Amino acid sequence: MTRQKKLKTLVARQLLDLSPLTQEFPDIVTWGVDCNHAIWVVLGCKSKTQGKHHELRCSPVYGGDGNSFIQICRIKDDQVRRVSITEPEIRLSFIQPTATGFLLADCRCFSDGDKVEANAVQYDWDGEEVKRLILGDGIEDLRTTPDGSIWAAYFDEGMFSGELPEIGCIGTPGLVCFNSDGEVHPDYDSREIGGFYIGVPYAANVVGDNSVWVYHYSKFPIEHFDERNRKSWEYGIGGANGLAVDEDRVLLYADYEKQHRLRIVQLGSDGKAVVRSEKLLVNESGAYVKTRRSIGVGKNLYILRKKKILVVDEW
């Protein structure tokens, strides 16, 4: 009988404790990390809490009901900036920065007969609505970049059945780039550049302007999009929900068997991605860290657990 090799551990250190921010607004509705590694948190206060939705992928259970009060917090270098909004008109799945404030978005997009309802709203730092956008149905991940681009990755319903009146299925390519006005960016429009299509994305990493990494179903390659270029590495192991990138190395978090497994992968010049090591993710107390949603930005992988932001930045 072959003895299974015991895996070493890798520590996710605590970056932030959000508990002090949740005195008045006790619910963590959703959260995000921007390209400059600032942490964004949407806090909420309503009569009925609806569970650990911030730990799930795309679970819009807050807002859009006329009974929600939220506070937006941006945390960077121990500085916190806040603004409160009463009764947001969309349900809340994502938050990302814009040039003058922030973008809130629902992962689902609905239509009432012939009219499609906006599923994203831009606000300024006074809490005033600036613009509404239609970003399509079935958003799995949403990121913005300093140049104003909005990157959206779509899960299967958004790719294959998210048909909207007069708009069609925006998410069909799997990965779509919009400008700040919500128009599909011509440099990343699959209809214009001949096949900018991927499978259902499981994890993404938006490093900055024009640099996006994606790991996707069904053959699970690792792909990089830069300007109009697309480079792909064969990988093949499914189930990861987090992706961090350090030059020619990639960190993939979770698989179908273990949510706390990490794989450090080398990207070869031959187009193959080779696993160099496997580890198990633990916190500073030694407990396994398991979650269904993590956020990769460049080399860092961010995780939210029990009102604590953890980061894996040395691997």
In a structure prediction context, what are the per-residue pLDDT tens digits for the chain, which is 315 residues long?
A: 555 678 999 999 999 999 999 999 999 999 999 999 999 999 998 744 444 444 444 444 566 666 678 999 999 999 999 999 987 788 899 999 999 999 999 999 988 878 899 999 999 999 999 999 999 999 999 999 999 999 999 999 989 887 788 788 899 889 999 999 999 887 766 555 445 678 899 999 999 988 999 999 999 999 998 877 889 999 999 999 999 999 999 999 999 999 999 999 999 999 999 999 999 999 999 999 999 999 999 999 999 999 999 999 999
Identify whether 2 is part of a domain.
no
User: What one-character DSSP code corresponds to residue 127?
Assistant: S
Q: Please give the span between the terminal C-alpha atoms of the chain, in angstroms, as a whole number.
A: 32
Identify whether 118 is part of a domain.
yes
The answer to whether 251 and 301 are in contact (CB under 8 A) is: yes
What pLDDT is stored for residue 57 in this prediction? 44
Radius of gyration of the CA atoms of the chain, in A: 19
Identify whether 144 is part of a domain.
yes
d(CA 287, CA 11): 9
**Any idea what the CATH number is for the domain that residue 38 is in?**
2.120.10
What pLDDT is stored for residue 51 in this prediction? 42
> Which DSSP string corresponds to 39-108?
EEEEEEE-SS---SGGGSSS---SSSSS--EEEEEEEETTEEEEEEEES-SS--SEEEE-SSEEEEE-S-
CA-based torsion, 278, 279, 280, 281: positive or negative: negative
Using CA atoms of 246, 58, 223, 255 in order, give the dihedral in degrees to the nearest 10: 70
Domain count for the chain, please give it: 1
> Which DSSP string corresponds to 290-315?
--S-EEEETTEEEEEETTEEEEE---
d(CA 97, CA 104): 9
What pLDDT is stored for residue 235 in this prediction? 98
What pLDDT is stored for residue 56 in this prediction? 44
What pLDDT is stored for residue 62 in this prediction? 61
> What own/partner pairs with CB < 8 Å and gap ≥ 24 does 188-195 have?
188/225, 193/228
Identify whether 263 is part of a domain.
yes
Identify whether 32 is part of a domain.
yes
Identify whether 3 is part of a domain.
no
Q: Which domain holds residue 45?
A: 8-312
Q: How far is CA 87 from CA 64, 68, 97, 149, in A?
A: 7, 5, 20, 27
Identify whether 83 is part of a domain.
yes
Length of the chain as a residue count:
315
Identify whether 254 is part of a domain.
yes
